[in-house]
Amino acid sequence: MPRLQPLMLIHGFGGHPDLWTNTGFFQTLVRLADVDPDLIHRFHYGWDEDGAYNAYEDIRRLAARLTTRPAPHPEDARSQVRRLSEKSRARGGQVEVIIIAFSMGGLIARYWMSRRQPDQFGTLFDAPVKALITVGTPHLGVSLAEVTDLLPHHHWRRWLLRAVEWLPFPRGQPVTLLRLWQGRLAAMQRRAIGELLSDLPGVDLIASPALRQLQPDSDFLRRLNRADQWPTGVEAALLWGEIRLAVRITWKQYTLWSDTINLGDLVVSARSASTLVGAPVRRRRALVNETEIAVPLDRVDDLVMPEATVLDLSELLPPEQHNNLLKQEDVHRTVAQWVVELSATSPQ
Protein backbone atom coordinates (compact mmCIF):
# COMPACT_ATOMS: atom_id res chain seq x y z
CA MET A 1 0.00 0.00 0.00
CA PRO A 2 1.42 3.44 -0.89
CA ARG A 3 2.55 5.73 1.93
CA LEU A 4 -0.25 8.14 2.83
CA GLN A 5 1.98 11.14 3.44
CA PRO A 6 0.72 14.47 2.06
CA LEU A 7 3.36 16.48 0.21
CA MET A 8 3.15 20.05 -1.10
CA LEU A 9 5.66 20.93 -3.84
CA ILE A 10 6.44 24.64 -4.36
CA HIS A 11 8.56 25.70 -7.33
CA GLY A 12 10.70 28.83 -7.59
CA PHE A 13 10.87 32.19 -9.35
CA GLY A 14 10.11 32.01 -13.06
CA GLY A 15 9.12 28.35 -12.84
CA HIS A 16 5.94 26.37 -13.29
CA PRO A 17 4.26 23.42 -11.51
CA ASP A 18 5.18 21.20 -14.48
CA LEU A 19 8.83 21.51 -13.37
CA TRP A 20 8.23 18.74 -10.81
CA THR A 21 7.16 16.23 -13.46
CA ASN A 22 9.41 17.41 -16.29
CA THR A 23 12.49 16.80 -14.13
CA GLY A 24 11.29 13.40 -12.93
CA PHE A 25 11.17 14.64 -9.32
CA PHE A 26 7.48 13.81 -8.84
CA GLN A 27 7.95 10.34 -10.29
CA THR A 28 10.90 9.63 -7.98
CA LEU A 29 8.85 10.50 -4.89
CA VAL A 30 6.23 8.00 -6.01
CA ARG A 31 8.81 5.32 -6.83
CA LEU A 32 11.42 5.66 -4.07
CA ALA A 33 9.38 7.16 -1.22
CA ASP A 34 6.31 5.08 -2.18
CA VAL A 35 4.04 8.10 -1.66
CA ASP A 36 0.48 7.98 -2.98
CA PRO A 37 0.61 10.29 -6.04
CA ASP A 38 -2.86 11.65 -5.24
CA LEU A 39 -1.45 13.12 -2.02
CA ILE A 40 1.34 14.99 -3.82
CA HIS A 41 0.04 18.46 -4.66
CA ARG A 42 1.92 20.96 -6.79
CA PHE A 43 1.53 24.55 -5.64
CA HIS A 44 0.16 26.89 -8.30
CA TYR A 45 1.14 30.59 -8.35
CA GLY A 46 -2.12 31.68 -9.98
CA TRP A 47 -2.69 34.11 -12.85
CA ASP A 48 -2.03 37.81 -13.19
CA GLU A 49 -4.46 40.41 -14.55
CA ASP A 50 -3.36 39.69 -18.12
CA GLY A 51 -3.98 35.96 -17.75
CA ALA A 52 -0.27 35.04 -17.61
CA TYR A 53 1.15 32.61 -15.07
CA ASN A 54 2.04 34.72 -12.02
CA ALA A 55 5.65 33.54 -11.55
CA TYR A 56 7.10 36.89 -10.41
CA GLU A 57 4.52 38.24 -7.94
CA ASP A 58 5.02 39.51 -4.39
CA ILE A 59 6.10 36.56 -2.23
CA ARG A 60 3.59 37.53 0.45
CA ARG A 61 0.69 37.45 -2.00
CA LEU A 62 1.80 34.09 -3.35
CA ALA A 63 2.08 32.71 0.19
CA ALA A 64 -1.59 33.60 0.76
CA ARG A 65 -2.49 30.83 -1.69
CA LEU A 66 -1.31 28.29 0.90
CA THR A 67 -3.95 29.60 3.33
CA THR A 68 -7.45 28.08 3.39
CA ARG A 69 -10.00 30.18 1.48
CA PRO A 70 -12.73 29.79 -1.17
CA ALA A 71 -11.32 28.01 -4.20
CA PRO A 72 -12.91 29.03 -7.53
CA HIS A 73 -10.37 27.00 -9.53
CA PRO A 74 -9.00 23.48 -8.97
CA GLU A 75 -5.43 24.75 -8.72
CA ASP A 76 -6.55 27.06 -5.89
CA ALA A 77 -7.86 24.15 -3.80
CA ARG A 78 -4.80 22.00 -4.48
CA SER A 79 -2.51 24.84 -3.38
CA GLN A 80 -3.99 25.02 0.13
CA VAL A 81 -2.19 23.04 2.81
CA ARG A 82 -5.18 22.45 5.08
CA ARG A 83 -7.24 20.96 2.24
CA LEU A 84 -4.37 18.57 1.48
CA SER A 85 -4.09 17.62 5.15
CA GLU A 86 -7.83 16.96 5.42
CA LYS A 87 -7.74 14.90 2.23
CA SER A 88 -5.02 12.69 3.70
CA ARG A 89 -6.79 12.36 7.06
CA ALA A 90 -10.03 11.32 5.34
CA ARG A 91 -8.12 8.43 3.77
CA GLY A 92 -6.55 7.40 7.07
CA GLY A 93 -3.19 8.99 6.22
CA GLN A 94 -0.86 11.44 7.93
CA VAL A 95 -2.31 14.78 9.03
CA GLU A 96 0.93 16.78 8.99
CA VAL A 97 2.07 17.92 5.55
CA ILE A 98 5.68 17.89 4.38
CA ILE A 99 6.48 20.88 2.16
CA ILE A 100 9.21 20.47 -0.46
CA ALA A 101 10.30 23.77 -1.97
CA PHE A 102 12.78 24.76 -4.63
CA SER A 103 14.55 28.13 -4.66
CA MET A 104 12.12 31.00 -3.95
CA GLY A 105 9.46 28.42 -3.11
CA GLY A 106 11.17 27.95 0.24
CA LEU A 107 10.66 31.64 1.05
CA ILE A 108 6.99 31.40 0.08
CA ALA A 109 6.55 28.53 2.54
CA ARG A 110 8.57 30.25 5.26
CA TYR A 111 6.59 33.47 5.02
CA TRP A 112 3.31 31.55 5.20
CA MET A 113 4.51 29.66 8.27
CA SER A 114 5.59 32.92 9.94
CA ARG A 115 2.11 34.43 9.89
CA ARG A 116 0.39 34.01 13.28
CA GLN A 117 -2.09 36.71 12.28
CA PRO A 118 -3.39 37.41 8.75
CA ASP A 119 -1.48 40.02 6.77
CA GLN A 120 -2.98 42.39 4.17
CA PHE A 121 -3.23 39.49 1.70
CA GLY A 122 -4.92 37.15 4.18
CA THR A 123 -1.81 35.01 4.60
CA LEU A 124 -2.18 32.89 7.74
CA PHE A 125 -0.39 29.75 8.94
CA ASP A 126 -3.49 27.61 9.45
CA ALA A 127 -2.54 23.99 8.75
CA PRO A 128 -0.42 21.21 10.32
CA VAL A 129 3.09 20.98 8.87
CA LYS A 130 5.65 18.35 9.76
CA ALA A 131 8.67 19.72 7.93
CA LEU A 132 9.97 22.04 5.25
CA ILE A 133 12.57 20.63 2.85
CA THR A 134 14.30 23.29 0.78
CA VAL A 135 16.43 22.78 -2.33
CA GLY A 136 18.64 25.72 -3.29
CA THR A 137 16.53 28.25 -1.38
CA PRO A 138 18.22 31.66 -0.85
CA HIS A 139 17.31 31.94 2.84
CA LEU A 140 19.66 34.92 3.23
CA GLY A 141 18.86 36.33 -0.19
CA VAL A 142 20.60 36.39 -3.54
CA SER A 143 22.45 39.21 -5.25
CA LEU A 144 21.95 38.86 -9.00
CA ALA A 145 24.76 41.35 -9.63
CA GLU A 146 27.38 39.71 -7.40
CA VAL A 147 30.26 37.89 -9.10
CA THR A 148 32.77 35.74 -7.23
CA ASP A 149 36.29 37.18 -7.27
CA LEU A 150 39.13 34.68 -7.63
CA LEU A 151 41.51 37.05 -5.86
CA PRO A 152 40.13 40.26 -4.31
CA HIS A 153 42.10 43.39 -5.11
CA HIS A 154 42.97 44.05 -1.47
CA HIS A 155 44.23 40.51 -0.87
CA TRP A 156 47.90 40.30 0.15
CA ARG A 157 48.51 37.33 -2.18
CA ARG A 158 47.75 39.51 -5.19
CA TRP A 159 50.76 41.63 -4.28
CA LEU A 160 52.89 38.50 -3.87
CA LEU A 161 51.91 37.21 -7.28
CA ARG A 162 52.51 40.62 -8.80
CA ALA A 163 56.03 40.57 -7.33
CA VAL A 164 56.62 37.13 -8.89
CA GLU A 165 55.87 38.57 -12.32
CA TRP A 166 58.94 40.80 -11.98
CA LEU A 167 61.28 37.86 -11.36
CA PRO A 168 63.42 36.73 -14.30
CA PHE A 169 63.00 32.96 -13.99
CA PRO A 170 59.26 32.20 -14.32
CA ARG A 171 57.86 32.85 -17.78
CA GLY A 172 54.27 33.21 -16.61
CA GLN A 173 52.15 36.14 -15.52
CA PRO A 174 49.99 34.75 -12.65
CA VAL A 175 47.91 37.87 -12.00
CA THR A 176 47.21 38.23 -15.71
CA LEU A 177 46.19 34.59 -15.81
CA LEU A 178 43.87 35.03 -12.85
CA ARG A 179 42.24 37.97 -14.60
CA LEU A 180 41.66 35.78 -17.64
CA TRP A 181 39.98 33.10 -15.54
CA GLN A 182 38.04 35.78 -13.67
CA GLY A 183 36.50 36.97 -16.91
CA ARG A 184 35.35 33.46 -17.78
CA LEU A 185 34.01 32.91 -14.26
CA ALA A 186 31.99 36.12 -14.43
CA ALA A 187 30.59 35.13 -17.82
CA MET A 188 29.54 31.73 -16.48
CA GLN A 189 27.76 33.24 -13.48
CA ARG A 190 25.99 35.80 -15.67
CA ARG A 191 24.86 32.99 -17.96
CA ALA A 192 23.40 31.03 -15.03
CA ILE A 193 21.52 34.12 -13.81
CA GLY A 194 20.35 34.83 -17.34
CA GLU A 195 18.89 31.33 -17.58
CA LEU A 196 17.00 31.94 -14.36
CA LEU A 197 15.37 35.08 -15.78
CA SER A 198 15.02 34.09 -19.44
CA ASP A 199 11.75 32.20 -18.99
CA LEU A 200 9.83 35.43 -18.46
CA PRO A 201 9.66 37.11 -21.88
CA GLY A 202 7.91 40.45 -21.87
CA VAL A 203 7.97 40.74 -18.08
CA ASP A 204 9.34 43.90 -16.46
CA LEU A 205 11.75 42.13 -14.13
CA ILE A 206 12.99 45.36 -12.58
CA ALA A 207 9.46 46.00 -11.32
CA SER A 208 9.04 42.46 -9.98
CA PRO A 209 8.25 42.58 -6.23
CA ALA A 210 9.78 39.12 -5.77
CA LEU A 211 13.16 40.18 -7.18
CA ARG A 212 13.29 43.08 -4.75
CA GLN A 213 12.35 40.80 -1.86
CA LEU A 214 15.12 38.36 -2.82
CA GLN A 215 17.81 41.00 -2.29
CA PRO A 216 19.87 40.26 0.86
CA ASP A 217 19.15 43.70 2.36
CA SER A 218 15.39 43.69 1.73
CA ASP A 219 12.96 44.46 4.54
CA PHE A 220 11.16 41.24 3.66
CA LEU A 221 14.20 39.06 4.41
CA ARG A 222 15.25 41.06 7.46
CA ARG A 223 11.89 40.37 9.08
CA LEU A 224 11.67 36.77 7.87
CA ASN A 225 15.12 35.96 9.27
CA ARG A 226 14.31 36.92 12.83
CA ALA A 227 14.70 33.91 15.11
CA ASP A 228 11.10 34.13 16.34
CA GLN A 229 9.60 33.69 12.86
CA TRP A 230 10.06 29.92 12.66
CA PRO A 231 7.00 27.97 13.91
CA THR A 232 7.30 25.61 16.87
CA GLY A 233 7.25 21.91 16.06
CA VAL A 234 8.21 22.18 12.39
CA GLU A 235 11.47 20.56 11.30
CA ALA A 236 13.72 21.81 8.51
CA ALA A 237 15.91 19.99 6.01
CA LEU A 238 18.30 21.81 3.68
CA LEU A 239 19.80 20.67 0.39
CA TRP A 240 21.96 22.87 -1.80
CA GLY A 241 24.62 22.85 -4.52
CA GLU A 242 28.26 23.77 -4.07
CA ILE A 243 30.47 24.15 -7.11
CA ARG A 244 34.04 24.60 -5.92
CA LEU A 245 36.89 25.81 -8.09
CA ALA A 246 40.39 25.05 -6.78
CA VAL A 247 43.11 27.16 -8.42
CA ARG A 248 46.79 26.38 -7.86
CA ILE A 249 49.75 28.25 -9.36
CA THR A 250 53.12 26.49 -9.10
CA TRP A 251 56.73 26.99 -10.11
CA LYS A 252 58.82 23.82 -10.15
CA GLN A 253 58.06 22.08 -6.82
CA TYR A 254 56.77 25.25 -5.12
CA THR A 255 53.14 26.31 -4.78
CA LEU A 256 53.02 30.09 -5.18
CA TRP A 257 49.28 30.42 -4.71
CA SER A 258 46.44 28.05 -3.90
CA ASP A 259 42.82 28.74 -3.06
CA THR A 260 39.40 27.13 -3.37
CA ILE A 261 36.48 29.32 -4.36
CA ASN A 262 32.98 28.21 -3.39
CA LEU A 263 30.60 29.31 -6.13
CA GLY A 264 27.46 27.95 -4.50
CA ASP A 265 25.16 26.90 -7.34
CA LEU A 266 26.23 29.95 -9.41
CA VAL A 267 23.06 31.84 -8.40
CA VAL A 268 22.56 31.13 -4.68
CA SER A 269 25.58 31.07 -2.36
CA ALA A 270 26.18 28.05 -0.17
CA ARG A 271 25.88 30.23 2.93
CA SER A 272 22.49 31.57 1.87
CA ALA A 273 21.11 28.13 1.02
CA SER A 274 22.46 26.44 4.16
CA THR A 275 21.48 29.01 6.81
CA LEU A 276 17.99 28.95 8.28
CA VAL A 277 17.67 31.22 11.30
CA GLY A 278 15.73 29.86 14.27
CA ALA A 279 14.86 26.50 12.70
CA PRO A 280 15.77 23.01 14.00
CA VAL A 281 17.75 21.64 11.03
CA ARG A 282 18.38 17.92 11.57
CA ARG A 283 19.01 17.03 7.96
CA ARG A 284 21.32 18.90 5.64
CA ARG A 285 23.37 18.02 2.62
CA ALA A 286 25.53 19.85 0.12
CA LEU A 287 25.94 18.43 -3.38
CA VAL A 288 29.63 19.18 -3.84
CA ASN A 289 31.62 19.07 -7.04
CA GLU A 290 35.18 20.35 -7.04
CA THR A 291 37.38 21.03 -10.03
CA GLU A 292 41.07 21.90 -9.80
CA ILE A 293 42.93 24.16 -12.19
CA ALA A 294 46.66 23.62 -11.77
CA VAL A 295 48.83 26.21 -13.52
CA PRO A 296 52.62 25.61 -13.64
CA LEU A 297 54.36 28.91 -14.38
CA ASP A 298 56.90 27.32 -16.70
CA ARG A 299 54.01 26.38 -19.02
CA VAL A 300 51.65 29.25 -18.42
CA ASP A 301 52.37 30.94 -21.73
CA ASP A 302 51.03 27.87 -23.51
CA LEU A 303 47.77 28.16 -21.60
CA VAL A 304 47.04 31.83 -22.30
CA MET A 305 45.53 31.49 -25.75
CA PRO A 306 43.29 33.87 -27.70
CA GLU A 307 39.90 34.28 -26.00
CA ALA A 308 38.03 32.62 -28.86
CA THR A 309 39.91 29.34 -28.41
CA VAL A 310 40.22 29.24 -24.63
CA LEU A 311 38.48 26.40 -22.81
CA ASP A 312 35.29 27.75 -21.27
CA LEU A 313 34.81 27.35 -17.53
CA SER A 314 31.40 25.79 -18.03
CA GLU A 315 33.14 22.82 -19.65
CA LEU A 316 35.19 22.27 -16.51
CA LEU A 317 32.45 22.54 -13.91
CA PRO A 318 29.67 20.03 -13.18
CA PRO A 319 26.01 20.77 -13.89
CA GLU A 320 24.99 21.35 -10.25
CA GLN A 321 24.04 24.92 -10.99
CA HIS A 322 20.84 26.42 -9.68
CA ASN A 323 18.54 25.78 -12.62
CA ASN A 324 19.63 22.15 -12.89
CA LEU A 325 19.35 21.12 -9.23
CA LEU A 326 15.95 19.49 -9.56
CA LYS A 327 17.23 17.40 -12.48
CA GLN A 328 19.91 15.74 -10.33
CA GLU A 329 19.30 12.15 -9.30
CA ASP A 330 21.17 12.78 -6.04
CA VAL A 331 18.63 15.46 -5.18
CA HIS A 332 15.73 13.13 -6.01
CA ARG A 333 17.11 10.28 -3.91
CA THR A 334 18.04 12.48 -0.94
CA VAL A 335 14.65 14.16 -0.72
CA ALA A 336 12.84 10.82 -1.14
CA GLN A 337 14.89 9.37 1.72
CA TRP A 338 14.10 12.37 3.93
CA VAL A 339 10.39 12.02 3.17
CA VAL A 340 10.49 8.37 4.29
CA GLU A 341 12.31 9.28 7.50
CA LEU A 342 10.05 12.21 8.32
CA SER A 343 6.81 10.43 7.56
CA ALA A 344 7.83 7.63 9.91
CA THR A 345 7.79 10.12 12.80
CA SER A 346 4.58 11.96 11.85
CA PRO A 347 1.51 11.46 14.06
CA GLN A 348 -1.67 10.11 12.50
Look at 261 and 132; give whichever has higher pLDDT. 132
* Helix boundaries (H) for the chain: 19-22, 25-32, 59-63, 74-78, 81-90, 104-114, 156-164, 174-197, 209-214, 219-224, 270-274, 300-303, 313-316, 329-343
Summarised one tens digit per residue, pLDDT across range 173-225 is: 555 666 666 666 667 766 776 666 655 444 455 668 998 899 999 999 999 99
Note the pLDDT of residue 21: 97
CATH placement of domain 1-348: 3.40.50
Residue 166 banded pLDDT, cuts 50, 70, 90: very low
Maximum distance among all Cα pairs of the chain, rounded to whole angstroms: 80
Q: What is the mean pLDDT of the chain?
A: 83
pLDDT given at position 108: 98
How many angstroms separate the CA atoms of 243 and 263, rounded?
5
Greater pLDDT, 342 or 308: 342
Q: Can you list the alpha helix ranges (DSSP code H) found in 294-328?
A: 300-303, 313-316
**Number of neighbouring beta carbons within 10 Å of residue 285:** 16
**For residue 314, what pLDDT is reported?**
53
The pTM score is 0.85
Q: pLDDT digit string (tens) for 46-68?
A: 988 778 888 888 999 999 999 99
